[in-house]
């Protein structure tokens, strides 16, 4: 029969445990304080302005079927935990429409090239490349739409995308002959021409429950590219051996990279709190502002 440890031994263990807890709390406070004094070129996160280009919006669609190797970090288990939450963040439904008026489409998949600033397809149709198509009759319209949609007469559905964070705008998912498509839409609008086609719409939306789970479990901070070569920041990140994951979500060069720090680890949580005090933008808060209920 096992016996209980003598009172002196139990007291020693409790004293040792209390000391470790105090040491852990001091280390976490010290880490948070050091992080709060970092001087990194943080930039506030901004929602991109409305545009005809899907690729200029926040690329949250990349989270659908997010590859497991999309996250980097030293420990596989930490990356797997972050991936499990991120993979639920965006959902997509597919909607089949028997007839959609072409004039309702006002976006393109991209790439935008030299036409990034255009707010409507009519703007792209007004560029030299659009005007060169010379759509001045219904016959010209059919020629342009056949160039962009060579199979439309056989009833091939129009492939479209829509995302809650981009509003109700419908984006054509084709990648070639953007000017021809835009000019056909602009002509139909100008002439009041109702031209319907079957359509398949991929509708993307943020999962608010998954976002709440993400915010509860992780700091999700946007770190500038300079962070990863900054000795002070990298020293705090690596020397403490705390759990973290990294995700390159944005498409643009020199874009910030997302740092995920689990809140249930005292040191990673302390680093996250300190970085926020230093000015690191919270991507979770930005995503929450994009939920339909928040607008």
For the chain (295 residues), the mean pLDDT of every run of 10, in chain order, is 54 46 72 94 88 91 90 90 94 96 94 80 90 92 94 92 95 92 96 96 96 95 94 93 88 78 94 96 92 71
- Do residues 201 and 238 both lie within one domain? no
Range of the domain at 197: 91-206
pLDDT given at position 114: 73
Shared-domain flag, residues 254 and 155: no
pLDDT of residue 16: 45
Report whether 184 contacts 130 (CB < 8 A).
no
pLDDT of residue 7: 56
Residues 83 and 214 placed together within one structural domain of the fold? yes
- Pair 115, 181 in one domain: yes
Residue 31 lies in a domain: no
Q: What is the CA radius of gyration of the chain?
A: 26
**Do residues 242 and 169 both lie within one domain?**
no
Q: pLDDT at position 253, please?
A: 59
Q: Pick the last residue of a domain from 206, 227, 258.
A: 206
Last-in-domain residue among 206, 236, 270: 206
pLDDT at 162: 97
Asked whether residue 201 falls in the same domain as residue 143, the answer is yes
Residue 24 lies in a domain: no
Q: How many distinct structural domains can be found in the chain?
A: 2
Residue 99 within any structural domain of the chain? yes
DSSP 145-195: HHHH-TTGGGTPPEEEEEEGGGTT-EEE---S-HHHHHHHHHHHHHHT---
Closest CA to 266 of 11, 12, 13, 32: 32
Task: Please give the pLDDT value at position 294.
Answer: 63
pLDDT, residue 24, reads 60
Cis-peptide into 86, omega within 30 deg: no
220 beta partners? 260
Q: For the chain, what is the total number of helices (H) and then of strands (E)? A: 10, 9
Q: What residues contact residue 39 under an 8 Å CB cut-off, 6+ apart?
A: 278
Is residue 166 in some structural domain? yes
What is d(CA 218, CA 284) in angstroms, rounded to the nearest whole number?
Answer: 9
Residue whose token pair is 């680890």:
265
């Amino acid at each position: 029969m096992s016996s209980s440890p003598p009172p002196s031994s139990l007291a020693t263990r409790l004293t040792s445990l209390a000391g470790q807890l105090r040491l852990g709390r001091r280390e976490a406070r010290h880490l948070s304080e050091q992080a709060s004094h970092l001087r990194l070129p943080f930039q506030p996160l901004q929602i991109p302005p409305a545009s005809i280009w899907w690729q200029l919006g926040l690329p949250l669609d990349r989270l659908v079927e997010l590859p497991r190797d999309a996250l980097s970090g030293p420990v596989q288990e930490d990356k797997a935990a972050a991936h499990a939450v991120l993979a639920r963040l965006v959902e997509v439904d597919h909607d089949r429409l028997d007839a959609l008026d072409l004039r309702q489409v006002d976006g393109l998949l991209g790439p935008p090239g030299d036409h990034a600033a255009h707010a409507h397809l009519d703007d792209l149709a007004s560029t030299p490349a659009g005007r060169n198509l010379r759509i001045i009759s219904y016959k010209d319209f059919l020629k342009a739409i056949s160039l962009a949609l060579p199979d439309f007469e056989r009833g091939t559905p129009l492939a479209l995308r829509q995302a809650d964070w981009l509003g109700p705008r419908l984006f054509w998912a084709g990648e070639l002959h953007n000017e021809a498509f835009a000019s056909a839409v602009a002509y139909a609008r100008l002439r009041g021409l109702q031209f319907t086609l079957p359509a398949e719409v991929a509708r993307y939306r943020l999962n608010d429950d998954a976002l709440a789970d993400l915010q509860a479990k992780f700091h999700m901070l946007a770190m500038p590219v300079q962070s990863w070569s900054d000795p002070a920041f990298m020293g705090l990140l690596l020397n403490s051996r705390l759990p973290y994951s990294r995700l390159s979500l944005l498409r643009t060069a020199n874009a910030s990279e997302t740092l995920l720090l689990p809140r249930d680890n005292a040191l990673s949580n302390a680093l996250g709190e300190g970085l926020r005090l230093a000015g690191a933008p919270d991507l979770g808060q930005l995503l929450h502002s994009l939920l339909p209920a928040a607008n």
